[in-house]
A and B are shown apart, each in its own frame.
Chain A
Amino acid sequence: MISTWQKRRSEFNHDWLKNRYLPALAKWVNILDDRVEDQAFQKEFPRTILNQWLEYGPQGHLLAERFESEMSPRVLLERYPLSRLPGPTRDWLGPLVHELWLSRYPVRQWVADTVAAADAANTAYGLLRDSIASRANSTVEELRPLRSSFTRFQGLCQGLARTIEEFPKPLII
């Protein structure tokens, strides 16, 4: 059974970040390096594609924050057949299962790493956005001096993708 958290992770990390956003960022860096030409993309990237971060980027932080509550084996007590256990049993079993899970896996380390990666990427995006805003036309020539800021943001997005991948795929006990 695929949880909502797993589905959201797949939509964020697989569908958006790795399959759409990172390839666009990599292509943009190649354009800055004069290795690719694409007039339509060159206009669109700094104005719209880069700013997809505003809509999707915060999902990385949210995924990390919700992992402990949504992917703990404690949630199995809310699903059939464990949901048929008497309420008082579930009251003590749930916290126990959760604590055992926390002691067995570095859950909070995964979360902390991902939050840190998401925040770092978000900060880099903000700086980049401000730098772009100070340039009038956002042409390739104007933005070429920002290459290192773009590659830094790219590296941080890659780091975020990798930390999110560290979370276990199935619900583990």
Chain B
Amino acid sequence: MPLPRILVIDDLFGRIHSDRRNEERANLCGQYLVTDVTDDESGKGERQEVIEPTAEVVFHRGQRPAASVVGSTVENDLDGVLEVVRCGWSDVPLRRPRWAMVLLDLCFYTGRVTEESDRRAAGMPEGRAGDDDPERYFGLRILSALRNEFPDLPVVILSSKSRKEVSRDIAYLGALAFLPRDDSNSPELLRDYLWTHGLIQDMSGIQIGRSKEFLLALRAARRAASTQRNVLIQGERGTGKELLARYTHRETLAGRETPFIVVNSAVLTPELFASELFGIERGVATGVEQRLGLIQAAAGGDLFLDEISDMPAQVQAGILRAIEDRQYTPIGARMPQSVNVRFLSASNADLDVLVSSGVFRHDLLDRLLEGGGVHLPPLRERKEDIPLLAEKFVQDAEASHPRAMRRTIDPEALDLLLRHNWPGNVRELRSSLFGAVTNYPDVEHLVPVHLRLPTL
């Protein structure tokens, strides 16, 4: 799994030396435990190795020229910044791996590089009036421009300047956090910000996808996972809601083993739901043994209510208190019991519509959403992920078949996959590819005819 890639826009760390490495940059990478993959440092002496890097980092100065010497005049370059960001964010196809996050400096020094300024830091200019003025920081201009052109791009301020001087401005301009230069827990802080704000792939490799839409859903799930409050996942059928619920569960664990119990809401009938969910006390009737309910089985972890929109109205009323108070009364018990459980739920129907039509309880929806909602995009809105998904599904299908040959997906077949609308989403894509391998186990090329999709 590739490491997340961060873009650092900073005048000091982004400047280039023609004959040697940028020592300040190398030290920053050694401080934050990231690997410099900017293509301007190769062949400039010994490289440092970060043993377990958190991310790969590309540095950009944000100024012209990127390499300055005594006598050069350094000017800020907003257009150049936006061009670099586009390469890893909005170009189709992307010219670089997608930026997981941008770390943005505030104060950019401009003007002439003098003997004295060069002695303090090679290639740095002496600075002009206003460069160091918090109301005129070039970093704030960049932030504003990024917010306008790339509203979903996660931007965190990385600065040695005072946070309090800019905290209101950066909040208004959409920065997600401030990473100070003088924090002794800097690697942990960066890792934490990447997890909370970055657009990063599922490092376990279970959730496949690197499109912006999918990574935004993963981030929403991680953010929801950081609390013990209930989470509602909405998305069309076949988009992978249960997988996302499991991801939310895993990301919550922090190394702990806790239960994850799946319940199909449609099978919870008014007659049976109480015994299924709440359990039965011993001796309710002759010969009846105590039976643990699913809520108790999920204690300390998550109860996943799949297809919650199919839950009958009586069951909705019956489960409301358990979801609201984390209290339930087993059949035959006199007193309610408390339980520490989080309710994850999923629906392919628009629950707001169902609430409006009186089919779904408004108060139940509010409680299911207390920790936030996650929208899982349909496959047609994340077609960038189809090649990755297709490769994974073909490999899985080959592995599950006793004698299937290893094959490559021909460009014509991939083109067909990309043009199909996939109303059944990822599940339909998986079925299609498993079918192709099952029906044609003895070929080395997956071609359009194997897919049984309408050719457009």
Give the residues in chain A near B29, CB-CB below 8 Å. 27
Contact of A38 among B26, B129, B162, B187 (CB under 8 A): B26
Shortest CB-to-CB span from B392 to chain A, Å, is 32
B32-48 interface code vs A (CB 8 A; 1 in, 0 out): 01000000000001111
The answer to whether A36 and B51 have CB atoms under 8 Å apart is yes
The answer to whether A14 and B161 have CB atoms under 8 Å apart is yes
The answer to whether B120 and A11 have CB atoms under 8 Å apart is yes
Residues of A24-73 at the interface with B, using a CB-CB cut-off of 8 Å, are 24, 26-27, 30-31, 34-41
Give the residues in chain B near A40, CB-CB below 8 Å. 45-46
The answer to whether B181 and A31 have CB atoms under 8 Å apart is no
Binds B, one of A15-23, A80-88, A100-108, A140-148: A15-23
Identify the interface centre among A20, A34, A155, A161: most chain B CB within 10 Å of its CB.
Answer: A20
Shortest CB-to-CB span from B94 to chain A, Å, is 30
The answer to whether A158 and B184 have CB atoms under 8 Å apart is yes
The answer to whether A41 and B181 have CB atoms under 8 Å apart is no
Residues of B392-447 at the interface with A, using a CB-CB cut-off of 8 Å, are none
The answer to whether A37 and B48 have CB atoms under 8 Å apart is yes
Q: Which residue of B lies closest to A30 (CB)?
A: B30
Mostly helix, strand, loop or mixed at chain A's interface? Answer: helix
B28 CB-CB contact with A under 8 Å: yes
A154 CB-CB contact with B under 8 Å: yes
Contact of A36 among B24, B50, B161 (CB under 8 A): B50
Q: Which residue of A lies closest to B165 (CB)?
A: A169
If A14-B107, A169-B165 touch, whether A23 touches B49 (CB-CB below 8 Å) is no
Interface residues on B, range: 20 to 34
Give the residues in chain A near B30, CB-CB below 8 Å. 23, 26-27, 30-31, 36, 38, 41
Residues of A116-138 at the interface with B, using a CB-CB cut-off of 8 Å, are none
B257 CB-CB contact with A under 8 Å: no
A172 CB-CB contact with B under 8 Å: no
A10 CB-CB contact with B under 8 Å: yes
The answer to whether A39 and B46 have CB atoms under 8 Å apart is yes
Contact of A24 among B27, B49, B120, B186 (CB under 8 A): B27
Shortest CB-to-CB span from A12 to chain B, Å, is 11
If A18-B160, A20-B121, A154-B184 touch, whether A36 touches B132 (CB-CB below 8 Å) is no
If A14-B160, A26-B184, A35-B51 touch, whether A20 touches B31 (CB-CB below 8 Å) is no
- 17 inter-chain pairs at a CB distance below 8 angstroms, sorted by A residue, are A14-B160, A17-B182, A22-B31, A23-B30, A27-B26, A34-B51, A36-B48, A36-B49, A36-B50, A36-B51, A37-B49, A38-B26, A40-B46, A41-B26, A41-B30, A154-B184, A162-B182
Q: A26-B186, A36-B51 are in contact. List 17 more A-B contacts (CB 8 A).
A: A15-B120, A22-B31, A26-B30, A26-B31, A30-B30, A30-B31, A30-B187, A35-B33, A36-B30, A37-B49, A37-B51, A38-B46, A41-B27, A41-B30, A154-B184, A155-B184, A169-B134
